[in-house]
Chains A and B, each alone.
Chain A
Amino acid sequence: MGLESIPVVTQSASDGLTGNAAAVLREIAARLESLAKEGQSGIIDLGAMPLSPADKAWLADKLGQGEVEINLELDGPSHVRETRYAGVWWLLHHNPQGAVTGEFIEITRIPELVLAHPADIISGSESLNFLIDDLC
């Protein structure tokens, strides 16, 4: 038996707002401002905040949809989505079973997770050279 068979009253998106989402939105704005002025990036862990489903829906609605969407397959799907505001990214991590394991707002030019790591670039370059050597 799953959770859905238990008579839990679900709140619609219109109510159930705790007011915390507005605070998160202000924090995003402040961090975006410091990214613009000082180049300082930041992360907000949505899992660490008492946000109701309605709060998250409200926040997603306010932040909107940007141009970039990246899907990653990292031991379960992960999803990186740019919001309407350049520099504000919404990250959603799932485990292989499909449950959400983490949800973050990252305020940066591009999320750390997407960037290729220098050490990986070096080893990639080495591997590619080995491949070319083998061709000859």
Chain B
Amino acid sequence: MNEMQLLTWARGTGLDFAVGIFLLGVLWRLIEIYSLGRKKDLSAARQAAGASGWHTIFRRSVPAEGMLKKSPVSYIGGYTFHIGLAICVFLFAPHIKLIQSLTGLSWPGLPSQFVDLIAVVTIAAMVVVLVDRINKPVKRYLSTFQDWFTWTLTFLPVLTGWMAVQHLLLPYTTMLAIHILSVELLLVFLPFTKLFHAFTVFGSRWYIGTVNGHKGVAV
């Protein structure tokens, strides 16, 4: 198999399978989670219905008091790489073209030099977060195989994409194929690992917030 065939496979059959598994997994898990329901809470609500669910969605995005000072790497690094990822994935022109071809939706992109810079920042932030996870005994103790695995799954597409654009290590064609393959790997595993938080994060926050509100926890 030569580079071109690898790329064509990645853009063709590989993508087909990856998107297929991704959709299957996402729908499966979303339906399963949301159809679970909870038992009816028979206790009386402590507080008149406020918007605790919606507040929690927002509030949990802001560091709790004192926490930013206590673990700045988790917050600043986490924010940086999440926002960086979003910019790289959704505002790089070729990616928009892909989404458009799959869904018909399109929006303006950012200049590629800017996205390139963001990619470097994202890579740096991810490395810092990883090093922090290794260095801090508590974090290391809490980390399971899945944590290391999902970090790698997320890191590879950013790294290979950036390397492809910069023409590092391998010819562009090969690097592009590897980049697409790494994204496909991410797509395949996303629904079945903790990466699924991309879909559930706000739903679960709302749920927790609502339950807390019901119990009378201040918003």
Given a CB threshold of 8 Å, the question of whether A touches B is answered with no
